Amino acid sequence: MQRLSVQVRGIVQGVGFRPFAAGLCRRFNLTGAARNTPRGLDIEIQGAPRNTDAFLAELHERPPALARIAAVSTSAISIVPGESGFRILHSLCAGPAHTPVAPEASTCAACLAEMRDPADRRHRYPFLNCTCCGPRFTITERVPYDRAHTTMKRFPMCPACESEYNNPEDRRFHAQPTACPDCGPQLDLCDACGAHIASSQDALDRAVRMLLDGKILAIKGLGGFHIACRAQDPAAVSRLRKAKTREHKPFAVMVRDTDQARTFCRITPHEDRFLNDHTRPILLLDKIGDSPNALPRDTAPARITHGVMLPYTPLHHLLLGDMDEPLIMTSANRRDEPIAFGDEEAFKQLGGIADAFLTHNRPIHMRCDDSVARVWRGRLRVLRRARGFAPAPLPLPIEASLPILACGPDLKNTFALARNDECILSHHIGDLHHPECLASYEQAIPHYENLFGFAPRAMSCDMHPDYHSTAYAQSRARGIPLVAVQHHHAHIAACLADNGARGPVIGVAFDGTGYGPDNTVWGGEFLIADLSGFTRAAHLACAPLPGGDAAARQPWRMAASHLLRALGPDFRTRRLAFNDHLHDSEWNMIQQMIERGLNAPLTSSMGRLFDAVSALCGFTHEINYEGQAAIELETLCGDTRHAAPYEFEFIKPENNSEPLILDPAPVIREIVMDLERGKPVQTISARFHAGVAHMIARTCDTLRSSCGLDTVALSGGVFQNWTLLDFAATLLEERGFRVLAHEHTPPNDGGVSLGQAAVAAAIIGNAE
């Protein structure tokens, strides 16, 4: 006979771990107890040594599906005479919180079976859940994760639910958000002004009829509202696009199941698996162009993919089951604002968009948008990390000797809390240039700190002096270290951390803009980098950025800049459709900016080069969302594998300590000649993509000969271009390189805070 204290750390609260432990004790004839603590889960087990060994083996090998065990420690303690059974004790609330809060999980099969069973007391109940599924992070106010610490505390359990909650044999044993129609949250249908129309089942039935009639509804989910309409109704989709002033950015589509998605998208076995995963991200899937069930063009204009997700709440399952057709499910916000998550906020923000609101009375404590991902080489690659993933911790490849708050960038902001050997990356916040997003950011950071008992003793931020996130870091770094990290170094460090690596590597960081220490705008960088530092080994030749930030919104500005640099002012005499769109007044303005050096900083940005080529191929209007011009250029792309690549000029520096320059001027000249010859833009796009991929491979080859490194890390928003990523990775691997790409974190700025945290941990560690 022995008694062991078992301390389990990781995502172990809100995932059914205590009922799981109780079940194991019954199975192995053990007694004991378990309780949640601010640090995780403490279990005591007592019985024969062979049985306690069996308990520990099962705990390690087959934990609950949603659990993520970070560490298990055991120690022998005194035997308790006469103990019987297994008890779940009241949670211990004292002490600093270190346990992660579980992300939301999609409705499990057992709950769906109950919801669809006319004989079950939860038949068609939109808020049923159990220890295997349902809301977690978005309803949690503080830890330990108990009902009293969530927004469910306002719903006292009825006798039937309380009996399940206290029954170790029931899968709802200590399921904190558990509820039923008699005691739980209820639906409410309101008109466009927020006035009550209907409740409960009647609200759902009338909402379905409104959607079938072509109406637009705002629907409250787990982390906020969606705006929904029939995806196969061109008039409704067009009206929604106009109401949201979202001219071209694609809408997400929710489908009943993968069979329904297959009617308009191609789905591989890997994609099928990830669509059905409990995280339920929006997954980018290739369109079937000639499908009779193709969705209206306005769903995803000028895109070769649809963003598709499956239902992840009981309410979604009921809606999609009753509708029996796909629904647009786009984030409920006005352009660039955070997703609406409170009823009054939604009524105010969305009154001019939604015809009605299908809401409910379970409060959302922390807004959290849908995650976005794509499958590449059989693995899920996260592009926006939010619901279903945040705030699950990520491992750090280096120990953080001090708790570090990494404040992230200003675009696609996330922040990160690094402590010991792990990092909690926040959910997607958005662009901090917008006051509403900045306010959300300033509210979310203290919530995370309180939730996880986190008190930063060091700060990390971007080098950009005008970023809101930098200002926030500076305001809090009073008397503690502040590590400013160069933007592209943070990108490469994030890719390293994502892959559990420290470097050094050849880092390829391609994006739109990043503050360079030489006072130019970086964005086409090859770095020799590890977590603690970097050397700029090569970069795209600099071109003027006429109008600064305006050039990112108006790609024709960068096209004019690159044409001027490659061909001189005589490019205006060339037979180019682009010249027909470039008015003399616009050209005169650009020329004067560049000649006088007024608001035309130099940039090495690869993102802006993609914009320039896209404009030459016909994208001459102002973009409506970030990366639009480059995305539409990729959409045009033909077969890169058999395309003759445009060639960059390699300019070796006179001083070996200076970086190699990769000049795109020959590429621009060749593109102009192809356009004058009448070559299809599909051919030009393919040759350009192939040229960039070959340039990456050749540059890495050149750098390997001097530095000896044979691992390449690819990061930055440009590598969301799957055509480029796949071709570049293939060419590098053919040359014997090991290629690191992002998987758990976005390659865009959404992953930068992880890189900032890793760099700060390395620098602070080296200084000690």
Reported as a single tens digit per residue, the pLDDT across 198-239 is 999 999 999 999 999 999 999 999 999 999 999 999 999 999
State residue 93's pLDDT score.
Answer: 64
Q: Which H or E run contains 449?
A: helix 435-451
State residue 97's pLDDT score.
Answer: 56
Q: State the CB neighbour count (10 A cutoff) for residue 683.
A: 16
State residue 492's pLDDT score.
Answer: 98
Residues of the chain predicted below pLDDT 50: none
Q: Which residues contact 300 (CB under 8 A, 6 or more apart)?
A: 250, 251, 287, 306, 307
State residue 539's pLDDT score.
Answer: 98
Give a three-class secondary structure readout of 565-624. Answer: HHHCHHHHHCCCHHHHHCCHHHHHHHHHHHHHCCCCCEECCHHHHHHHHHHHCCCCCCCC
State residue 333's pLDDT score.
Answer: 85
State residue 245's pLDDT score.
Answer: 81
Q: What is the CA radius of gyration of the chain?
A: 27
Q: Which H or E run contains 307?
A: strand 305-309
Closest CA to 757 of 230, 433, 399, 337: 399
Q: Measured between alpha carbons, how far is 357 from 214 in angstroms, rounded to an integer?
A: 14
Question: Whole-model pTM?
Answer: 0.93
State residue 98's pLDDT score.
Answer: 60
Are residues 264 and 287 in contact, defined by beta-carbon separation less than 8 angstroms? yes
Q: Which H or E run contains 514?
A: strand 505-515
> Residue 203 pairs with which residues in a beta bridge?
none
Q: What are φ and ψ of residue 245, in 5° steps?
A: 50, 50
Q: Which domains does the chain have, with CATH numbers?
A: 2-88 (3.30.70.100), 187-360 (3.90.870.40), 391-499+751-767 (3.30.420.360), 510-742 (3.30.420.40)
State residue 96's pLDDT score.
Answer: 57
State residue 617's pLDDT score.
Answer: 96
